[in-house]
Amino acid sequence: MFTGGDFGYLSDYLLWCLLFASLVGHTWCFFRFPSRRRLPKLRLLMGNGLVFLCMLALIALIGESYFRFVCVETDSFGMSLPAQRWFALHVHLNALGCRDKEWTLEPRVEQESRQGGINGTHRIAFVGDSFTYGWGIERVEDRFPDWIQAKFNETPAALRSQDPNRIREESAPSPVEVMNVAKPGWGTGDQLQPITDMIDVYGADEIVLCYVPNDIEKLLPRSTAFDPIRPPELRLINPTTSCLVDNLFYRLVVPRIGTVRHYHDWLAEGFADIEAWRAHQQQLYAIIKKCREHGVVLRAVLLPYLRIGGDKYQPEPLHATLHGFFQAKGVPVVDLLPVISGHDPNELVVNAHDAHPNEKANELFADAIWEAFYADGE
């Protein structure tokens, strides 16, 4: 009962309740047993102060109770107790730690021989980070890879067959399996091994690289004084001691911290650094090379930020640079930045304190990806 968990330590909460009860009790005694000293003005001030503190403490206790036991929502860093409860309630991982069903093993050699059959399953692995993972989205069916899976399930095989001869032969849809291979915090350097596993161990026929501009961040300079990758921490008290203080910290203080406020400027400077950009291109080319060596189709999706801080980050020219890179390497690419143009960003994020794309944004993404890659059976 007194151990920590998704609701913090119950003993901490009981201590706050005890302190509130003590304050109320002392206030009651102050008015119930008046002092014999004749200091009416001071007594009036003290009485008003105690009443004010009782009201403030009541509001704080209500807030503490709400954030500790009721509120369930993510924040951008996933550090608060409400965010931890959200993950405990809505996230179920497979054996590889991805938020998807368990996948059957189909080594590449076996998969190639199986693929000769008309009804062989075509596996598409969407590889990305928290945007693809569905951070803040309760139902996995509302993520853009799952929307695309649903579209495949509803689309006749003839419309998606790459072989014109098979259009006449197929009378039933050939199965397409969309795999969500994503983890929060993954960058391009982290994705090469999972892509290798998807190809060699799980027999993926196609890789869709879901690229977010922060995929370069682990190549950028950091220091103990300025580390935008490391989530800001509340150091004055244990965050589980008071959920109210914890949430006020992440909602009011964190957005004003330099590493958060200038995060996108830091990314922009990183892309402008010739050495960092060259190293990042090598990471991307390693993925391209891996897919080509095994005859696996590679596509790229450029996912945009919905909220941007600072003044150096310019999404249009950056997306154009990334789009040009993939085109020059012969990789089909779709840029989703124009998709959100004209939409209020507040209508596309999971909540006011978390800028990850919500269900509406994911549906918009899915429609654009489908039209770019699969609507014509490509």
Q: What is the pLDDT along the chain (378 residues), one digit of tens a residue?
A: 334 555 666 777 888 888 888 888 888 888 887 766 667 777 778 888 888 998 998 998 998 889 888 899 999 988 888 898 899 999 999 999 999 999 998 875 544 444 443 347 899 999 999 999 999 999 999 999 999 999 999 876 544 554 444 433 444 455 899 999 999 999 999 999 999 999 999 999 999 999 999 999 999 999 888 899 888 877 776 666 788 888 888 888 888 888 899 999 999 999 999 999 999 999 999 999 999 999 999 999 999 999 998 889 999 999 999 999 999 999 999 999 999 999 999 999 999 999 999 999 999 999 999 999 998 865
Q: What is the pLDDT of residue 26?
A: 85
Q: Which architecture, in CATH terms, is 81-374?
A: 3-Layer(aba) Sandwich (3.40)
Q: How far apart are CA 238 and CA 243, in angstroms?
A: 10
What pLDDT is attached to residue 132? 98
What is the layout of strands, in order, in the sheet containing 176-182? 176-182, 122-128, 206-211, 297-302, 333-335
